[in-house]
Amino acid sequence: MARIRIVPTVVELRALLADRRRAGSTVALVPTMGALHEGHLELVRRARELADVVVVSIFVNPLQFGPNEDFDRYPRALDADVAALETVGADLVFAPSVAEMYPDGPSQTRVAAGPIAALYEGASRPGHFDGMLTVVSKLFHIVQPDIACFGQKDAQQVYLVQRMVRDLDLPLGIEVVPTVREVDGLAMSSRNRYLSDEERVAALALSESLRAADRASADGLAEVLAEADAAFGAHDVQPDYLVVVDPATFLPVGDDATGEAVVLVAARVGATRLIDNARITLG
């Protein structure tokens, strides 16, 4: 197996990929912000199954962080990330600097993520999804992948990326990979490493609320919300939002809704903001 290659510049990455494409290879992209865990590696394993060349980007994108968010202290661990990526067969690690991605300063042209981006995560993080779609769009243009893999863990992000691909006729497929969890249910996240031992226990409020929602799903929306809320209460954690949405529109479902739905939860545990979600079938 060829050794993994770290590529810091757009020019070099484009040249390497052009060679591979001329030889008939297909390309998969896994965009990440690094500090990789088993959830990220699962995306890479899936990408490995889907294409000949797997590019993992590692870039903490300043455009998607608010002024009071954790951009400066977001965990960065390139050496460990590269070592982990070697074990799952990634080919190229695109790890540009901020100046490489934004040589003219913060991008003036941005992708407007639209009305859904103002809800849920977007309500607490204004501009986050415009910044996310802008960098994802840049990565799509730089790498020109046949397919890109995203985690269901970030359900609103996946919805908006899929929507951008359809709205703007971007020529690639989006593969969604199920959320990878710790054995006790906590969704893996680079931010989990911020949690103290006590907060780590309280963080189970999110996954437990989703399990409670699932158990109540046959009884309808009001029961789902009540049971999920009770799970937060049991951990003395206040949800930032707890909402059940229609997977097709990402708008909240009505009181009498039946069928497929997605429960979205977010909460601050100590100073750490966590999110999670699960599919349920409302009865």
Instruction: Supply the DSSP string of 205-252, one letter for each residue.
Output: HHHHHHHHHHHTGGG-HHHHHHHHHHHHHHTT--EEEEEEE-TTT-SB
Residue type, 249: T
Q: Which stretch binds ligand AMP (CB under 6 A): 107-115, 134-142, 176-184, 217-225?
A: 176-184
Q: Which stretch binds ligand AMP (CB under 6 A): 107-115, 183-191, 194-202, 237-245?
A: 183-191
The β-bridge partners of 32 are: 58
Is 40 a catalytic site residue? yes
Q: Are 259 and 281 in contact (CB under 8 A)?
A: yes
Residue 67 is given by DSSP the state T
Nearer to ligand AMP, 57 or 107 (CB): 57
Q: How many residues bind to ligand AMP according to rule CB under 6 A?
A: 17
Q: Which stretch binds ligand AMP (CB under 6 A): 35-43, 73-81, 87-95, 137-145?
A: 35-43
Nearer to ligand AMP, 146 or 276 (CB): 276
CB of 114 to ligand AMP, least distance (A): 19
For residues 134 to 153, the per-residue mask of contacts with ligand AMP, x marking binding by CB under 6 A and - elsewhere, is ----------------xx-x
Q: Is 117 in the site for ligand AMP (CB under 6 A)?
A: no
Q: Which residues of 261-281 are buried (b: 16+ CB within 10 A; e: fewer)?
A: bbbbbbbebeebbbbbbbebe
Q: Is 91 in the site for ligand AMP (CB under 6 A)?
A: no
Helices 38-50 and 78-87, interaxial angle, to 10°? 50
At residue 77's C-alpha, the angle toward residues 75 and 82, to 5°, is: 145
Q: Is 273 in the site for ligand AMP (CB under 6 A)?
A: no
Among 4, 133, 187, 267, binds ligand AMP (CB under 6 A): 187
Q: Are 47 and 149 in contact (CB under 8 A)?
A: yes
CB of 269 to ligand AMP, least distance (A): 16
Q: Is 29 in the site for ligand AMP (CB under 6 A)?
A: no
Nearer to ligand AMP, 29 or 216 (CB): 29
Q: Is 186 in the site for ligand AMP (CB under 6 A)?
A: no
Q: Is 161 in the site for ligand AMP (CB under 6 A)?
A: no
Q: Is 96 in the site for ligand AMP (CB under 6 A)?
A: no
What are the two backbone dihedrals, phi and then psi, of residue 207, each rounded to the nearest 5 degrees? -70, -35
Neighbours of 159 (CB within 10 A): 20
CB of 221 to ligand AMP, least distance (A): 26
Q: Which stretch binds ligand AMP (CB under 6 A): 44-52, 114-122, 182-190, 211-219?
A: 182-190
Calculate the alpha carbon distances from 24 to 9, 147, 171 in Å: 23, 15, 17
Q: Is 190 in the site for ligand AMP (CB under 6 A)?
A: yes
Closest to 97 measured CA to CA, from 82, 112, 76: 76
Distance (Å, rounded) from C-alpha 65 to C-alpha 88? Answer: 29
Residues lying near ligand AMP in the complex (CB under 6 A) are found at 32-33, 39-40, 42-43, 150-151, 153-154, 177, 179-180, 187-190
Catalytic residues, by residue number, are: 40
